[in-house]
Amino acid sequence: MAENVIKLQLNQQQLELLDRTIARGVASDRAALVRLAIREYAAARKAEVTAKPNDLEPKR
């Protein structure tokens, strides 16, 4: 699998949020948490793109 480098610029509040999330045990470090977030985002986008149009409409 190809490796991509992503450079993030986060403010202090964002870094603190990452650190609190890591402290809760969601990930081992900031890099792992960012990788997890990217994987989850990609999975959600893939599901959104592959969904049939009626799947996205509210149930009546």
Question: 6-60: per-residue pLDDT in tens?
Answer: 999 999 999 999 999 999 999 999 999 999 999 999 999 888 777 666 666 666 6
Residue 25 gets which letter from DSSP?
Answer: T
Four-residue CA torsion sign, 9, 14, 15, 21: negative
Q: Kindly report the CA angle at 16 between 10 and 19, in degrees rounded to 5?
A: 105
pTM greater than 0.75: no
Place of tokens 């990217």: 38
